[in-house]
Amino acid sequence: MPFERTRSVAQAHSFLTELAYDSEVPERVRRNAQFLLRHFPTKNDVLRAGLIEEQARKLGIGSISPVFSSSTEDW
């Protein structure tokens, strides 16, 4: 479901952030987490993508089912 995918991506961003700044985590893991975070979508990015997909679908220009959701209601 789109809202589940949205939630998972947002939680993955949060997890990577936690890893990146946890001094108890090995330096190599922290660097890898920071590297991944450079281009990883934030919660707001994912919610915005969901909104764009939903609006496109309403306009009849969305050809596939939504990947993300614009709502955190179901979280």
Total-model pTM: 0.82
Q: Which residue segment(s) compose the domain that 31 sits in? A: 2-58
Q: What is the pLDDT of residue 59?
A: 84
On whether residue 18 sits in a domain, the answer given is yes
Q: How many domains does the chain have?
A: 1
Q: How does pLDDT run across 19-71, given as a tens digit for each residue? A: 999 999 999 999 999 999 999 999 999 999 999 998 888 888 866 778 888 88
Residues 65 and 29: their CA atoms lie apart, in Å, by 35
Q: What is the pLDDT of residue 25?
A: 97
Instruction: List phi, psi (to 5°) of 71.
Output: -120, 145
On whether residue 22 sits in a domain, the answer given is yes
On whether residue 19 sits in a domain, the answer given is yes
Q: What is the pLDDT of residue 19?
A: 97
